């Protein structure tokens, strides 16, 4: 460990922002959103697959159906218009929700357009909070508000490490830095 080789790779400039490398704490700080990203990604992939494989959920009526769920929360929803929108086509809305959750989860896990995925996750969580879990009393019993808040750091920061976005960004910087476009970018 005394060879001078860092335990974890450091970012551009070797440290946090413009500061010199701050040691292990600074290096670990760069990866602090990774557990949240993995949790939300796995949870949303699981939720999407669970909905897609549940024939009862993807029905307009019946026990466990999205249609019955929407009808049961219509009177207590924060925004009843969202419930009405889902009730126009509960099956189509169920598929859209499930596929949306699956895409958001995969995008988050792999770091593919991570900010867009986080925005999608935040929108899904906001819609669920304003409809299904709006009537939870006290408010902190409803989990959708917590999910909404959990998406916000990923929306702000993206997936700067261990992601397709960071790989793509690093390759783009390397192309410009190495003068792959000739000397027009260098002076």
Arithmetic mean of pLDDT, 134-147: 89
Whether residue 62 has pLDDT greater than 90: no
Q: Above pLDDT 90, what percent of the chain?
A: 51
pLDDT of the residue at 37: 96
Average pLDDT, the chain: 83
Arithmetic mean of pLDDT, 145-171: 89
Whether residue 1 has pLDDT greater than 50: no
Q: Above pLDDT 70, what percent of the chain?
A: 79
DSSP states of the chain: -TTS--SS---GGGSSTTSPP--HHHHHHTTTTHHHHHHHHHHHHHHHHHHHT-TTTTSSSSTT-HHHHHHHHTTT-S-HHHHHHHHH-HHHHHHHHHHHHHHHHHHHHHTSSHHHHHHHHHHHHHHHHHHTSTT-SSGGG-HHHHHHHHHHHHHHH---SSSHHHHHHHHHHHHHHTTTTGGGG--
Q: Each residue of 99-138: pLDDT tens digit? A: 999 999 999 999 999 999 999 999 999 999 999 999 888 8
Arithmetic mean of pLDDT, 34-43: 96
């Amino acid at each position: 460990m005394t060879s001078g080789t860092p335990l974890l790779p450091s970012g551009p400039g070797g440290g946090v922002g413009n500061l010199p490398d701050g040691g292990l704490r600074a290096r670990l700080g760069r990866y602090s959103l990774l557990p949240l990203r993995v949790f939300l990604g796995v949870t949303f992939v699981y939720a999407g697959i669970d909905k897609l494989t549940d024939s009862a959920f993807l029905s307009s009526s019946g026990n466990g159906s999205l249609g019955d769920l929407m009808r049961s929360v219509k009177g207590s929803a924060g925004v009843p218009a969202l419930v009405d929108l889902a009730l126009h086509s509960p099956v189509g809305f169920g598929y859209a929700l499930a596929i949306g959750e699956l895409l958001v989860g995969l995008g988050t896990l792999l770091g593919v357009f991570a900010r867009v995925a986080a925005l999608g996750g935040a929108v899904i969580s906001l819609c669920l909070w304003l409809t299904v879990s709006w009537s939870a009393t006290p408010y902190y019993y409803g989990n959708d508000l917590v999910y909404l808040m959990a998406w916000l750091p990923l929306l702000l920061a993206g997936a700067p490490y261990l992601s397709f976005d960071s790989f793509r960004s690093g390759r783009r910087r390397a192309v410009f830095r190495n003068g792959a476009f000739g000397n027009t970018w260098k002076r």
